[in-house]
Each structure stands twice: as C-alpha cells, then as structure tokens.
Amino acid sequence: MMLTTRKICLAGFATVVAAALIPATGAQDNGGTGKKPTLQDLGDVLARVNGVPILTVDATPEFMSRIPPDMGFDPIKIIMPTLRETIDLELIRQQAVAGGIDKDPEFTIRIRELESQKAQKLTSRLANFYVRTHENANQQWVTELLSGFQYVLRHPSGTVEGIAPAVIELAVKGSFAKPPQSVLLPKVWQLVIDHEAKRQGIEPEALAADAKVAHRLVAAAKIEANGQTLVLGDVPGLEKILDTLNEEQDRNNPAFRAIANMVLAAEGRKEGVDKAPRFASSRDQLFKAARKKRARILADVYYTRNGMGPDDFNPEKAHARNVPSAEAPAEPDLEAENDMDKKTADITLEEAREDHMKALRDAAEIEYLIDVPE
C-alpha cells in the first residue's frame, strides 16, 4: 500500500529562473565575455525543493573537479543528471520523514553500518596521508613508531592484559611482508581463549571448540594503544576471518591494520595534518559520498515500505503465490519464459517508481536557480 502524497503546490516540475541568471548554452556567454560559465559561476545553491536548498557541492559529479576550466565543457549540462537525481532523493527524503520512515529499524541499522564504515575509511585515509606526507616516512620509521606504543588487551571480563612488544613488532613486519602475515589476531584469539578458559575453570580446547561462544568472546575484546580503542567486533568480516584464522589464506592482518590506522591517525591529528587542505578535500569527498549513500538507503527503504521494493516485482515470488494444486498440471518452467518474466519485472519496478516520482514532482515546488537546458 502506497503512502498518499501530500499535495504541496500545483507549480509542477516548473523552472523558476533566478534574477542573476547563469547562461547555460553555447549561444549565451558569461558576463559578455563569450565564455561558458564555470562550476564556480553557479553559486552555492542550484535549486530548491519545497524551500530546501540543493547545494552545488552535493549535486556535482565527483569527476567535475578534474575537468580543467579551459576545456570548454558546459558545466550545467554535465551536472543536470546528478542534479535531477539529487532533487528526486530530496523529494523522497521529505516524504520519508513525513511518514516516519527515517525511524524505520531497517534504515537505522543500515545507517549505523554506513557511519561505522565512514569512520573507518576516514581513519584509514588520515593514517595513510600522515605516513605519505611525513618527512621521515619509510618502512623503518613506521615500524619504530608503531612498535613504540604500549598495546593492551581488554578482555570481555574487564581484565586488562599487556600485549608483548615482540608480538607488535612481528605484526608490523608481517604487514610489510608479501603476502602480508597475520600475527596480532591469532595472538589475541589465544589470549582471550586462555584467559576465559582459566576464568571458567575449563580447558582452552573445550572453549575454542564452541565456535559461537569463542567468536563472541573475541568480538567483545578490545585492543588499546595511544589513547585509541579498537573493538574487535568492529573489524570488517571478523566472523569469516575467525573461521579461517589458522588457514594459509588468512593474510589480511585485519586487526593490526585497524589499530595501526587508529594509532597513526591519532599521531596525524596531534601534528595537525588533518587540517591540511589536501586532506580536507579528501575528507569532504568521503563525507559527500556518505551523504549520497545515506539518501539512497533511505530511498530503498521508502520504496520497499510503499510497495515498490524488488520483492514486490519478483517473478519467482509471484509464481510462489500461485503454485498449482496437486490436481492441476504445473505450467512448463521454461528458461526463456523466466528470463522474460525477469525483464518484465525489472521494467515494471522501474516504471512504478518513475510514476511515483512524477507524482511527487508534480505536487512539489521545484525551483531551479540555473538556466536549465531544454
């Protein structure tokens, strides 16, 4: 069942040209100079959707920043597909908020995952930027820096245990090896299992044999160094990694890489490299991508809650709802027919969503602050 679209304005998908009009076609020039407008000429706001501004920074494709201004491309024509998508996502956001879908458990869970991924990527980028731009950067410098901190393991029980410097040094060297050698996580596994087994008065082998319990214990443990704390459960793919911990293919060194990035990023912040313009640009790109991802996640949940999710047009599920009785002969299940059903389902889903978006556009007040190409 679809939500009823609240009628906001009968202006339709109209274009309202701002007083300071920016030319958009080759026949027009930029201030009488005969040149096409640049991205900087467009201003900070490209459009408004029911009064909400659509910022140039959010509606500009990333590749635009790499196009030299003297190439002669018309920036308005290049950004229009992204601008229109951003407008549609804003329309959906407004409807989703009005319907409480931004509080939907599926949305909040996926957003927590997105924020966690964003934080990990930002830490990794800052750590890499710090190393690349440091005047003493080389393998020996990184090894000495990372090995110079005290690393401790905080067990799920709250007990704190030091991690031997020799283990950290081996982990650092293992990260430079080809292929990388995983050292820290196997050691943490051993420490956690031994500690908990002793606490419970059982043999370590017996505890390790219960993979579910053992994995839960390791995931709850924390590594602390240089004022940073890594919850092992936050290591991406930890469950699968622990399943193959002692196998030859485990070469990713994920736990050490995660805590090393946190330590290096902390050092970078102490030296102020996170304020460097080059890093700020990289950070802003990451945040922009996360904002767009957030909007698309909300759109996914919105469509699903309004009967326009992939499963609503899935031919296999449609067939399952119409299973022939035991008395009636089943229809032939031909591959060609299945392919056609899938194509039809895809078209139907796309068309259903576009029809819905057209209704939202027609009911909204959409104001462009640039001259929109025909």
Instruction: Give CA–CA dist 52/54, Å, rounded.
Output: 7
The answer for residues whose C-beta is within 8 angstroms of residue 190's C-beta and 6 or more apart is none
Q: Are 138 and 273 in contact (CB under 8 A)?
A: no
Give 228's DSSP letter. E
Q: What are phi and psi of 228, to 5 degrees?
A: -110, 150
Q: Look at the alpha carbons of 332, 338, 344, 349 in this order and tell me if their dihedral is positive or negative.
A: positive
- How far is the C-alpha of 74 from the C-alpha of 23, rounded, in Å? 10
* Helix axes 165-176 and 184-200, enclosed angle (nearest 10): 140
Boundaries of every domain in the chain: 78-133+277-317, 137-275
pLDDT tens readout for residues 138-197: 889 999 999 999 999 999 999 999 999 999 999 998 888 877 778 899 999 999 999 999
With a pLDDT cut of 70, the percent of the chain lying above it is 76
Q: Give the amino acid at 112.
A: R
pLDDT at 205: 95
- Cβ–Cβ under 8 Å, residues 294 and 93: no
pLDDT value of residue 72 = 65
pLDDT at 68: 65
pLDDT value for 32? 45
Tell me the average pLDDT across 348-357: 92
Q: Per residue in 202-246, pLDDT tens? A: 999 999 999 999 999 999 999 999 999 999 999 888 888 888 776
Phi/psi at 231 (5° precision): -85, 120
| Highest-confidence segment of 89-93, 131-135, 306-310 | 89-93
DSSP secondary structure string for all residues of 79-95: HHHHHHHHHHHHHHHHH
Among candidate residues 293, 6, 248, the one with its CA nearest the CA of residue 121 = 293
Structure tokens at 290: 């996360």
pLDDT value at residue 2 = 34
* Tokens, residue 215: 């994995």
